[in-house]
Amino acid sequence: MNLESVEKVARAVLYEGYLLYPYRASSVKNQQRWNFGVLHPPAYDTSEMQTECLVVGAGEVDIRVRFLLRQEEREIFVQGVPVGEERAVQVEATSVSVGWERAGQEADHTVVRLRIQNIAAVQPASREEAMAQSMVSTHAILTVRGGEFVSLIDPPDEYVDAVRQCRNAGLFPVLAGNPGERDTMLASPIILYDYPQVAPESPGDLFDATEIDEILTLRILTLSEGEKAEIREGDERAREILDRAESLPPEHFLKLHGAVRSLRPVSSPHKEWRAGDRVRLRPRRAADIFDIALQGKLATVETVEQDFEGRDHLAVVLDDDPGRDLGMLRQPGHRFFFAPEEVERLP
């Protein structure tokens, strides 16, 4: 298990929505927050969270349930629950139960069921009072020894029917860690894909993993001195964000501008394309004005990329572009994308 990778994603889930731009307590969005993974005291709301997933083979499971309570991190650790054994744990005002459902005598898998409840014995009179006793950003990390988990997003054919029977409420489990590993599940209140990762370019928490780090960081730098003073006098984690944004070196801003994850040499039926290849543009589709204006232009392949449909694209920079250096830095407006059959290789 890649523990560091799992912990980074779990931390992003834990602090999602903790405090949002402009990171000031006086802003409306930070006075009336909408959080993920909330479990209120039962006197206010009786809902609970449940996650189910498949374990193949015998073994035992460790479970970590994490959440924020009054903006402080809390964790409940249930260690070494053998496959098939029921276990219930109560810590302070939190109840965690682990159960199993056998899939039949001939099946090679078992369903592990995790339920989480807030059992705080309080009578909140308002949402604000309820939130003060609520579990926020609740999620769980399940680790199996002596067995492996099955993906609920892309299960093998023999487990498709069993996966359809799994019932998840408020949490959805995905495989976590290094791609291909099957010993860890992250049950998150935010639906993720298998093997989620935090972008390596990200310099630290911004508490909004659905946003773009570059945009948020630039916005922080545009805050007035009075707004920055309020941040520094407020939440400690917000103060860390401000200090980091103001001290971020220029070269790191370039890294934040964007990255392509799927670079590789791309083979077409006739050629193999690589970054640095010299080409002449021969657009075929005439889809827009650029296809007409760039016809016959000389360019250099900056990267070779692939879209989600598996189609290959060449990102090129024009030789006569006055901002050619910006294109090589992958700045917008200075790179153009063409299919391999839309360019002519030059010597």
- Residue percentage of the chain with pLDDT more than 70: 93
- What are the CB-based long-range contacts (under 8 Å, 24+) for 249-257? 252/201, 252/203, 253/214, 253/217, 254/329, 255/201, 256/201, 256/202, 256/203, 256/213, 256/214, 256/217, 257/214, 257/329, 257/330, 257/331
Alpha carbon distance 326, 258 (integer Å) = 13
State the CB neighbour count (10 A cutoff) for residue 236: 7
**Model confidence at 243: pLDDT above 90:** yes
Among 76-90, 155-169, 258-272, name the one with the lowest average pLDDT: 258-272
Between 42 and 256, residue with greater pLDDT = 42
Q: Which pLDDT value is given to residue 270?
A: 42
Place of tokens 């005291």: 41
Q: Which amino acid is at 241?
A: I
Q: What's the rounded Cα separation, in Å, for the pair 223 and 332?
A: 25
pLDDT of residue 298: 93
Q: For 8-22, how does the pLDDT look when each residue is reduced to its tens digit (9 = 90+)?
A: 999 999 999 898 899
Paired sense of beta strands 336-338 and 272-273, if any: unpaired
- The pLDDT of residue 283 is 86
pLDDT over 70 (residue 71): yes
Residue 231: what pLDDT? 93
Helices (H), 268-334: 289-293, 324-328
DSSP letter (8 states) at residue 39: B
- Of all residues in the chain, the percent with pLDDT exceeding 90 is 44
Q: Name which of 11-25, 95-109, 171-185, 232-246 the model is least confident about.
A: 95-109
Question: Per residue in 125-173, pLDDT tens?
Answer: 888 888 889 999 999 999 999 999 999 999 999 999 999 999 999 999 9
Mean pLDDT score of the chain = 86
Tokens representing residue 201 in the block: 């370019």
Average pLDDT over residues 97-104: 68
Rounded average pLDDT over 54-71 = 90
* Residue 295 Cα distances to 232, 289, 291, 305, 344, angstroms: 54, 10, 6, 21, 11
Beta sheet of 60-69, edge-to-edge order: 72-82, 60-69, 136-145, 184-188, 172-175
Of all helices (H) and strands (E), which one includes residue 36?
none
Model pLDDT, residue 269: 46
At 183-202, the pLDDT tens digits run: 999 999 998 999 998 888 88
* 312 has pLDDT over 90: no
Better-scored residue on pLDDT, 259 or 240: 240
Per-residue model confidence (pLDDT) at position 308:
67
Question: Residues 313-328: pLDDT tens digits?
Answer: 889 999 999 888 888 8
d(CA 295, CA 322): 18
- Please, which residues have CB within 8 angstroms of residue 328's CB and are 6 or more apart in sequence? 302, 317
